[in-house]
Structure 1
Amino acid sequence: MTAADRFVERVDALVTERPAAVIAVFLLVSVVAVGGLAGITTSAGADQFTQDIPAQRALDDIDEEFETSIGGSATSAQLIVTDGNVLSRSTLIRVLETQDRLESRSTLRVRSTSSHADAIAQRLDPSAETPGERRDAVAAATPSELRAAIADADAAGAVAPQVSVDYNPTAQQAGATIVGITYDLPDAATTARVTELQTQSVGVVDSVPGNEAGENAILFGDGILQSEITALLTDTAIIVFPAALLLILGFLVFAYRDPIDMAIGLVALLMSLLWTFGFMGYARIPFSDSLITVFPLLLAVGIDFGIHIVNRYREERGEGLGIAAAMRTTTDQLLIAFLLVTITTVFGLASNVVSPFEPNRDFGLVAAAGIVFTLAVFGVFLPAAKVLVDRRRERLPIPEFGTTALGSGGSRLGRVLHVGVDLSRVAPVAVVALLLVAGAAGGAYGTGVNTEFSEEAFFPDEDRLETYSNLPEPLAPTDYTFLRVLTLFEEEFERSFVGSVTLYVDQSVRDDDALELIDRTTRNPPDTFETTDERRADATSVVTVIEDRAERDPEFAALVDRNDRLGTGVPDRNVDEVYDALLDSPARGQARGYLAADRGSARIDYAIRPGVDNSEAVADVRELAERTPLEAVPTGDLVVNEAVIDRLTASAIRSLIAAFVLTAVFLALSYAYLEGKAVYGLLNLVPVLVTVGLLVGSMRLFSIPLTPINAPILSVSIGLGVDYTVHFVHRFVDEFKAGLSVDEALDVTIAGTGGALTGSMLTTVCGLGVLWLAVIPLLRDFGVLLALGVLYAYLCSILLVPSLVVVWGRYGDRVGLGLGDGLRAESADRAD
């Protein structure tokens, strides 16, 4: 007797002889798991995937060292004020009053605020130091004084950068403006603390007469974004989970056809999820976007295991066996199959541990642990509960409901399921060839699948949100501020997460040639960059700030000329003196956006041509960084996103290869050990390859891009595919070993296992596919892919495996890898 046989015998004894003790132990562990729930935290958004990327580190340095940022510091916020004219006296007073209340409320810990109204008020009263004093200066100014102050501030470049693109300097009108808010907090401040302060700030903004928070005065920052994304996860769960529950319950009724059996199955499902949640809490793994998909996956595997146990048990009971004998026969066969499925699925999931993204590593770890818990619950607890309940049924007058196995006898389902076996008798070679070609074609077609990563990818579908807003509470989703902010940024300020790339100059720029070197990076630009009339890149840097100031200030222009030995218009000596003069001028704010306070770094922004492919623009700025003698790091949201995509593609391929190799080796060794034939393990892999090929092809066909959230689907699809084929092949091998012919073994397998596979497929496809209702597009796509993966795995097991077995049986012996007359003779000898 092998170690596997001894393990199964021990489980058999526990399940059939001491079921009450088994149930008590599992309930005790569940109580312990409840203690871990309190330790669960949340983590959401794109920041999870950008850690440890050089471009992101440079972006963080820019946020810290310069007074204008690209990504937005976690300890800052923006207040978008809209009005008929944000340059009118009333709106200027309203903006300054808002700044005054924000800075005056000590509990908010607002270090400073800035706006176009500040610059205008300072020209009216240079001695005004606080927003309140500047508000009074604006209120006291005559109309002509106010117009002159606005014109002066505009000439200094202090108005246009902070108001909307509809700004008309002649009419002195603009429809929107941005007020910058900086909090006196360390960069390492917790998200909860930042969220708390920014939420309190919204209340202060709303207290100002004329302000309507969320309407004409929208405060937005990293804390609010994170809280809204967390709310988005909650809204998704509120919509998806009830729908999934209803669908799963409906199909479980079809699969079990017995309320008591279904109740046992549901308790087992809930126990698996509870153990997994508890594990997350104890392991301090935060609940993120990626982990939402773990639980439908566990439901899929748990439902599959539960239906197989009950269906096979009913088969044996239908043959006249008693409760204990029927359950022993059931677990004797299925525990090994479950073990194979679990280990191969764990390989597919654990392969994500090599991912460069922490959320994907967490996904692999949590899902792998959850699958192991599912094996324990459904392989031990559910059989024990079934034995205990059925023994009570025999003693008490409890009526029996559906007790026949799915697909058995001459049922309609049984006849439909037999199509694959019928085809294996008519044209097995054609079936195998057709499906192999389909899988290969799908895989080849799928090599062109798009990859995508951006902050917007985590945002909900606005059309779907509008539809869901008509639902009653609590199903109606939250009114998300960030969607309105994105629209304002893009429409009113022509700002988005892409459209430009940046070079972060990570070296001192105080040397004589520093400005010349910065200027040279704009010469002979690549085709992806916007250009000026002088055939230079449309770039913004401290050089362009100096040039702009020189055009407005003759005295500063003279200083530049004195220190421009080459006559290029760019100072090439005494650059510190030029910096001092620049920072003492009204252009100080602009200069500090491109020159660090210690002058130890600088920043250059390049505009990208509309319609240019992101990857081409990023490739060009990376080449520029390598070519320049400056120590420069390419960065910006576009560059960060492309770096994530590069890692994403490599990670998905690496995980897929790792999962396939580990699964192939394990199955071959397992069947060689258990059955003496490694070829049975290889038979399991062919349908899996077809499943993966069809799934990749479907991604491109349905325009579903590869993203950080669905990247694990390729490796997970191996585990899902093996789940279905292992059940089929393992049952076939058992029947074949018992002395049946290939055709007879296939008949018995499809009649018994085929029904369980069908019930499992219907339940899991609908349970996973319900993620299509999610308001987050990434989760919606992942649900669709998981459902397709299960469907393809099922179809391959029902249609391809019978023909594959027949073809292998016919031609495998010629190369010494057949199903084996030796195996048949060996089983016959054992029977004698």
Structure 2
Amino acid sequence: MTAADRLVERVDEFVTERPAAVIAVFLLISVVAVGGVGGIETSAGADQFTQDIPAQQALDDIDEEFETSIGGSATAAQLIVTDDNVLSRSTLIRILETQDRLESRSTLRVSSTSSHADAIARQLDPSAETAAQRRDAVADATPRELRAAIDDADASGAVESQVSVDYNPTAQTADASIVGITYDVPDAATTARVTELQTRSVEVVDSVPGNEAGDNAILFGDGVLQSEITALLTDTAIIVFPAALLLILGFLVFAYRDPIDMGIGLAALLMALLWTFGFMGYAGIPFSDSLITVFPLLLAVGIDFGIHIVNRYREERSEGLGIEDAMRTTTDQLLIAFLLVTITTVFGLASNVVSPFEPNRDFGLVAAAGIVFTLAVFGVFLPAAKVLVDRWRERLPIPEFGTTALGTGGSRLGRVLRVGVDLSTVAPVAVVVVLLLGGAAGGAYGTGVNTEFSEEAFFPDEDRLETYSNLPEPFAPTEYTFLQVLTLFEEEFEQDFVGSVTLYVDQSVRDDDALELIDRTTRNPPDTFETTDERRAASTSVVTVIEDQAARDPEFADVVDRNDRLGTGVPDRNVDEVYDALLDSPAEGQARGYLADDRGSARIDYTIQPGVDNSEAVADVRELSERTPLQTVPTGELVVNEAVIDRLTESAIRSLFAAFGLTAVFLALSYAYLEGKAVYGLLNLVPVLVTVGLLVGSMRLFSIPLTPINAPILSVSIGLGVDYTVHFVHRFVDEYKAGSPVDEALDITIAGTGGALTGSMLTTVCGLGVLWLAVIPLLRDFGVLLALGVLYAYLCSILLVPSLVVVWDRYGDRVGLGLDGGLRESTGGRAD
């Protein structure tokens, strides 16, 4: 007797002899798991996937060192104000009143605010130090004084940079403006704290007469964004989980046809999920977008295990065995299959621990742990509960419901399931060749699948949100502002966040040649960069700020000329003197966006040609960074996104090979140890390869890009595919060893296990496919892929495996790898 057999015998003993004790232990563990559920935190959005990327670190440095950022500082926010004319006296007063209330409310910890209204008010009263004083200056100015002040502020560049692109300096009109808000919070402040401050700021903004928060005054920042993305997860759960529950219940009724058995199965599902949630809480793993998919996955495997247990138990009971003997036979034959399925699925999931993305590593760890919990619950708790309940049924007047196994007794389902076996008797070679070629073609076609990553990819589909808004509470989704903000940024301010790339100059720029070197990076630009008439890159840096200010201010121009030995218009000595003069000029605010306070770093923004491929633009800025003598880091949202995509492809391929390699070795060794034939392990893998090929091809066919959320799908599909083929092959081996010919063993397998596989597939596909209802497109796509993976795995197990077995039986002996070889028992009949 092997160690596996001894383990199964031990489980048999507990399940059949002490079921009440088993149930009590599992309930006690569940109570402990409840304690971990309360410690779960939430993490969402694209930031999860950009950690440890040099370009992102440079972006974070820019947020900290410069007064204007391109990444969106966690301690800053923007208030977008819209009106018929944001340069009118009434709107300027409203903006300054808003700034005053934000700055004066100490509990908000607002350290500063800035706007075009500030610059205009300072022209009216240079001594005005507070927003309230500047508001009064605007209120008291005559129309002529106000108009002159707007002209003077515009001459310094302080107006155009903070109002919408429809700004008309002659008419002094614009439809929208941005108010910058900076919070004074420590670096260690939690996201929850920042979110709280920004949420309370919205209330203050709404208290100002004329402001309507979320309409003509929209506050937007990382705190608000994270809050709304978290709300997205909640809205998705509220819509998806009830729909999944209804579908699963419907198919469980079909599979179990017995309310008591279904109740046991549901209790086991809830227990497995509870243990997994508890593990997350105790392990300190936050609940994120990626982990939403774990729970449909656990439902899929749990439903599969539950249906197999009950279906096989019913088979044995129909042959006259008692409760204990029937359950012993069931667990003897299924626990080893469950163990193989669990370990191979864990390999597929745990292979994601090699991913460079922390959310994917968390996904692999949580899903692997959940699958192990599912094995324990459905392999031990459910059989024990079934034994205990059936004993009560024998003693109590409880009516009998559906007790026959799926696919048996000449049912229509049984006749449909025989298609694969029938084909294996007619043209097994043709079936194998067609399906192998189909899988290979799908895999080859799928090599052209697109990759995608951006913050917008985590945002919901606007059309779907509009449709769901008609649902009654609590299903109607939250009112989100970030979609409106993105539209405003793109339409009013022409900011799409990916139309430029940046060089972060990570060195002191106080040397005499620093500005010359910065200027040289704009000469002879690559074709992907926008250019000026002088064949220079269209860029913004401290050099361009100096040039613009010199063109407007003769006094500052004299400072530049004195320190420009080469006569190029770029200072090449005493640059600190130039910086001091620049920071004392009206261009101070713009300069601080490109020159750090300590002058230990700088930043250069380059505009990208419209329609240019992202990867080409990123390659060019990386090349520019390498060839410049300055110590620079290429960054910007576009660069960060491309870095994630690079890692994404590498991660998916690495996880796929790790999962397949571990699974192949494990199955070969396991069947060699358990059955004396490693060939059975190979029979499991061929359908899995076809499944993966078809799935990759489907991604391209349905235009589903590879994203950080669905990156684990390839490795997960191996685990899901093995789930179905292991059950089929393991049952076939049991019947074949017992002395049944190949065709008879296949008949018995498809009649019993085929029905269980069908019930499992239907509930799983619907349970996973219901993610298509998610408001987050990434989750919708992942749900579709998981459902397709399960469907392909099921079809391959039903259609391909029978023909594969027949082909191997016919031709394997020629190379010494046949199905025989001492495996048959000395006596005929079925295995006990």
Which range, TM-score by smaller chain? over 0.9
What is the CA-CA distance between 1:797 and the residue it aligns to?
0.1
- Flag the 1:546–1:825 CA change in 2: closer, same or farther, 3 A: same
Instruction: Answer whether contact 2:734 2:831 (CA < 8 A) is retained.
Output: no
Give 1:301 deviation, angstroms: 0.1
Tell whether 2:552 aligns with 1:552. yes
SS at 1:571 equivalent: coil
Q: 1:531 aligns to what? A: 531
Q: What pairs up with 1:583-602 in 2 under 5 angstroms?
A: 583-602=583-602
Deviation per CA, 1:394-453: give whole Å up to 9, x if none: 111111111111001211000000000000011100100000001011111111111111
In the alignment, the residues of structure 2 paired with residue 233 and residue 511 of structure 1 have an alpha-carbon distance, to the nearest angstrom, of 50
TM-score normalised to the size of structure 2? Answer: 0.99
Task: Please report how far the alpha carbon of residue 579 of structure 1 lies from its aligned counterpart in structure 2 after TM superposition.
Answer: 0.8
The aligned length equals 832
User: By how many angstroms is 1:187 displaced?
Assistant: 2.5
Preserved CA contact (<8 Å) 1:737 1:827: no
Matches of 1:260 and 1:162, distance apart in 2: 67
Using the alignment, how far apart are the partners of 1:826 and 1:721 within structure 2? 33
The corresponding residue for 1:752 is: 752
Deviation readout 1:680-704 (Å, 9 max, x if unpaired): 0010000000000000110111111
Kindly indicate whether the alpha-carbon contact (under 8 Å) linking 1:683 and 1:804 is maintained by their aligned counterparts in 2: yes
Residue of structure 1 equivalent to 2:125: 125
SS of the equivalent of 2:829 reads: helix
Please give the alpha-carbon distance, in whole angstroms, between the structure 2 residues aligned to 1:440 and 1:205. 59
- Equivalent pair of 2:740/2:829 in contact (CA under 8 Å): no
Tell me if structure 1 keeps the 8 A contact 2:529–2:607. yes
How far the C-alpha of 1:558 sits from its partner, in A, is 2.1
C-alpha displacement of 1:576: 1.0
Counterparts in 2 of 1:831 and 1:610: CA distance versus 1, 3 Å: closer
Deviation at residue 829 of structure 1 after TM alignment: 13
* C-alpha separation in 1, matches of 2:526 and 2:665: 49
Q: Secondary structure at the match of 1:822?
A: coil
1:186 positional shift: 1.6
C-alpha displacement of 1:195: 0.9
C-alpha separation in 1, matches of 2:36 and 2:149: 62
CA change 1:505–1:168 in 2 (3 A) is same
SS at match of 2:86: coil
Shift of 1:554: 1.4
Is the Cα contact below 8 Å between 1:549 and 1:556 reproduced in 2? yes
What is the alpha-carbon distance in structure 2 between the residues aligned to residue 728 and residue 113 of structure 1? Answer: 67
Deviations 1:738-760 (A, max 9, x none): 00111000000000000000000
Classify the secondary structure of the residue corresponding to 1:177: strand
What secondary structure does 1:151 align onto?
helix
Contact map agreement 2:738 2:830 (CA 8 A) in 1: no
Partner SS for 1:486: helix
Q: 1:448 to 1:793 in 2, by over 3 A?
A: same
Contact 2:738 2:829 in 1 (8 A): no
C-alpha displacement at 1:568, in angstroms? 1.6
Deviations 1:327-348 (A, max 9, x none): 1110000000000000000000
CA distance in 1: counterparts of 2:135 and 2:396, whole angstroms: 84
Cα distance in 2 for partners of 1:471, 1:654 equals 42
My pick for the range that moved more, 460-469 or 570-579, is 570-579
Structure 1 position 252 matched with structure 2 position 252: yes
Q: For 1:394 and 1:826, how far apart are their aligned partners in 2?
A: 37
Residues 51-108 of structure 1 show CA distances to partners (whole Å, capped at 9, x for unaligned) of 1110011000000000100111111111000000000000000000000111111111
Distance in structure 2 (CA, Å) of the matches to 1:830 and 1:436: 32
Q: 1:147 to 1:668 in 2, by over 3 A?
A: same
Distance 2:371 2:196 in 1: 37
Shift of 1:826: 6.1
1:295-318 CA-to-partner distances (Å, cap 9, x unmatched) read: 000000000000000000011111
Name the SS for the 2:826 alignment partner. helix
Q: 1:734 to 1:132 in 2, by over 3 A?
A: same
Report deviation, 1:462. Answer: 0.7
Counterparts of 1:98 and 1:376, CA distance in 2: 59
CA distance in 2, matches of 1:220, 1:189: 18
Structure 2 unaligned spans of 5+: none
Q: Determine if contact 1:74/1:187 at 8 Å carries over to the other structure.
A: no
Once residues 825 and 133 of structure 2 are traced to their aligned partners in structure 1, the CA distance between those partners, rounded to angstroms, is 100
- Of all paired residues, the percent bearing the same amino acid is 90
* Offset at residue 821 of structure 1 (A): 4.6
Aligned partner of residue 14 in structure 1, secondary structure: helix
- Secondary structure in 2 matching 1:598: coil
Q: State the alpha-carbon separation in 2 of the partners of residues 611 and 186 from structure 1.
A: 41
Secondary structure of 2:38's partner? helix
Q: What secondary structure does 1:472 align onto? A: coil
Structure 1 residues 441 and 395: CA distance shift in structure 2, 3 A: same
Shift of the alpha carbon at 1:601? 0.4
Any idea what SS the aligned residue of 1:823 has? Answer: coil
Offset of 1:831 from its aligned partner?
Answer: 10
Q: Deviations over 1:322-379 (max 9, x none)?
A: 1111111100000000000000000000001111111111111110000000000000
Q: Deviations over 1:230-286 (max 9, x none)?
A: 111000000000000000000000000000000000000000000001111111111
Q: Is the 8 A contact 1:348 1:659 kept in 2?
A: yes
Q: Quick check: 1:75–1:185 contact (8 Å CA) kept in 2?
A: yes
1:567 to partner: Cα distance: 2.0
- Which moves more between the two structures, 63-72 or 563-572? 563-572
In the TM superposition, residue 823 of structure 1 has moved relative to its aligned partner by 2.4
Per the TM alignment, residue 37 of structure 1 is displaced from its structure 2 partner at its CA by 1.1
Distance 1:798 1:181, change over 3 A: same
> Any conservation in 2 of the 1:596–1:602 contact (CA below 8 Å)?
yes
Is this contact kept in 1: 2:735–2:830, CA < 8 A? no
How far apart, CA to CA, are the structure 2 residues paired with 1:186 and 1:635? Answer: 25
The reply to whether residue 106 of structure 1 matches residue 106 of structure 2 is yes
Structure 1 residues without counterparts, runs of 5 or longer: none
- Is the 1:15–1:22 Cα contact (8 Å) retained in structure 2? yes
Q: CA deviation at 1:830?
A: 13
C-alpha spacing 1:122/1:415, structure 2 compared with 1 (3 Å)? same
Distance 1:801 1:739 in 2: 20
Asked whether 1:383 is paired with 2:354, we answer no
Q: Distance in 1 between matches of 2:322 and 2:190?
A: 61
1:672/1:678 contact within 8 Å kept: yes
Task: Please state how far the C-alpha of 1:827 moved relative to its aligned partner.
Answer: 6.6
Distance across 2 between alignment mates of 1:221 and 1:724: 47
**Cα offset for 1:551?**
0.7
Alignment check: 8 A CA contact 1:522 1:539 kept: yes
Query: Is contact 2:36-2:280 (8 Å) kept?
Result: yes
Deviation at 1:562, TM superposition (A): 2.1
In 2, distance between residues paired with 1:109 and 1:634? 33
Task: Give distance in 1, aligned partners of 2:64 and 2:323.
Answer: 70
Give how far 1:647 is off: 0.7
Encode CA deviations 1:124-171: one digit per residue, 9 max, x unaligned.
011111110011111111111111110111110000110001111111
- 3-state SS, counterpart of residue 593 of structure 1: coil
Task: Determine helix, strand or coil for the equivalent of 2:168.
Answer: coil
Deviation at residue 497 of structure 1 after TM alignment: 2.4
1:722-776 per-residue CA deviation (whole Å, 9 max, x = no partner) reads 0000000000000000001110000000000000000000000000000000000
Is the partner of 2:822 in helix, strand or coil?
A: helix
Instruction: Determine the structure 2 residue equivalent to 1:652.
Output: 652
Distance 1:650 1:792 in 2: 25
Alpha-carbon distance between aligned partners in 2 of 1:799 and 1:585, rounded to the nearest angstrom: 78
What's the TM-score, normalizing by structure 1?
0.99
Distance 2:13 2:561 in 1: 95
Q: CA contact under 8 A between 2:740 and 2:830: conserved in structure 1?
A: no
Q: 1:831 to 1:495 in 2, by over 3 A?
A: closer
* 2:735–2:831 contact (8 Å) kept in structure 1: no
TM-superposed deviation, 1:824 = 3.2
2:739 and 2:830 in contact (8 A); partners too: no
Moved more, 85-94 or 564-573: 564-573
Q: 1:641-720 to 2 correspondence within 5 Å?
A: 641-720=641-720
SS of structure 2 residue aligned to 1:180: strand
**Alpha-carbon distance in structure 2 between the residues aligned to 1:693 and 1:152:** 66
SS in 2 for 1:56: helix
Work out whether 1:401 is the aligned partner of 2:401: yes
The Cα of 1:633 is off from its aligned counterpart by 0.1
1:303 match: 303
Cα distance between partner residues in 2 of 1:823 and 1:31: 46
Asked if the contact 1:502–1:636 (Cα under 8 Å) also holds between the matched residues in 2, the reply is yes
C-alpha separation in 2, matches of 1:267 and 1:823: 39
Which residue pairs with 1:412 in the alignment? 412
The answer as to whether partners of 1:542 and 1:594 remain within 8 angstroms in 2 is yes
Structure 1 pair 12–171 and aligned structure 2 pair: CA distance change class (3 A)? same
Are the aligned partners of 1:275 and 1:373 in contact in 2 as well (CA < 8 Å)?
yes
